[in-house]
């Protein structure tokens, strides 16, 4: 355990001064002797954690000026960052929460929640558990049991080429433009588009793109 001469180092990644101040105050009251490091962007965060093993907790906002919290989680995984990461967001979107936990976040705290939620989160993670507020847990479990299963079933039917066509459809490419970009015949593109409409059980491109986004297959 750290002693009086060796405070715990906590990294808060958030670009909103009010939230930074509030979260810093809450953590100080809960953890006592701590040194709080601030990062206002993804780039700042990477610089803070690079080569450091003394950061004990990371609190990460989902919305950053230069990246998202999910993308930063992926980078932390690649860097083998050992500190538990708690995702914070003004949104309680179930897909976002699921994806954050799937990427290894140790907890998720909506920004509307206060000191008691942070205390519960810290205790849960210190016990070796992951943390979600009780109000969100059932929704996330339902999402995992329904939407994620549907998404995985669709993914099993999508070849790499069909995924490319789906992405280009979402970006507004015509069949002719996709054929040129992919170096394939336009008739082949039409076959892939028809297959996608069938897989998603829709009758037009717009509906196909909407369903793909709903399932998290498109950003």
140-164 average pLDDT score: 84
pLDDT in tens, 28-75: 999 988 999 999 999 999 999 997 788 999 999 999 999 999 999 999
Reading the block at residue 37, the tokens are 């490091």
Listed by start position, the domains of the chain span 8-135, 157-213
What percentage of the chain has pLDDT greater than the value 90? 64
CA-nearest of 37, 35, 39 to 2 is 35
Sheet holding 34-39, edge to edge: 34-39, 8-13, 55-61, 85-89, 107-110
Round to whole Å and give the CA distance between 48 and 51.
8
Round to whole Å and give the CA distance between 13 and 103.
17
CA-nearest of 167, 178, 172 to 217 is 167
* pLDDT at residue 144 greater than cutoff 70: yes
Model's pTM, two decimal places? 0.70
105-115 average pLDDT score: 90
If one looks up domain 157-213 in CATH, what number appears?
Answer: 1.10.10.10
- The CATH fold assigned to 8-135 is Rossmann fold (3.40.50)
Reading the block at residue 211, the tokens are 């369903």
pLDDT in tens, 167-213: 999 999 999 999 999 999 999 999 999 999 999 889 999 999 998 88
* pLDDT at residue 7 greater than cutoff 70: yes
What pLDDT is recorded for position 93?
Answer: 85
């Amino acid at each position: 355990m750290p002693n009086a001469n060796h405070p715990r180092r906590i990294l808060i990644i958030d670009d909103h001064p009010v939230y930074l101040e509030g979260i810093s105050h809450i953590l100080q009251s809960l953890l006592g002797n701590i040194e709080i490091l601030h990062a206002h962007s993804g780039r700042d965060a990477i610089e803070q954690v690079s080569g450091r093993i003394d950061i004990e907790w990371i609190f990460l906002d989902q919305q950053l000026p230069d990246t998202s919290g999910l993308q930063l989680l992926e980078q932390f995984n690649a860097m083998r960052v050992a500190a538990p990461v708690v995702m914070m967001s003004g949104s309680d979107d179930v897909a976002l929460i699921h994806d954050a936990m799937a990427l290894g976040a140790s907890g998720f705290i909506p920004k509307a929640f206060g000191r008691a939620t942070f205390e519960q989160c810290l205790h849960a993670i210190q016990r070796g558990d992951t943390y979600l507020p009780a109000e969100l847990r059932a929704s996330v479990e339902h999402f995992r049991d329904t939407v994620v299963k549907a998404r995985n079933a669709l993914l099993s039917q999508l070849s790499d080429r069909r995924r490319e066509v789906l992405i280009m459809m979402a970006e507004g490419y015509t069949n002719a433009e996709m054929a040129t970009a992919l170096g394939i015949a336009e008739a082949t593109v039409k076959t892939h588009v028809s297959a996608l409409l069938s897989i998603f059980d829709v009758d037009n491109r717009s509906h196909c793109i909407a369903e793909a986004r709903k399932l998290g297959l498109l950003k």
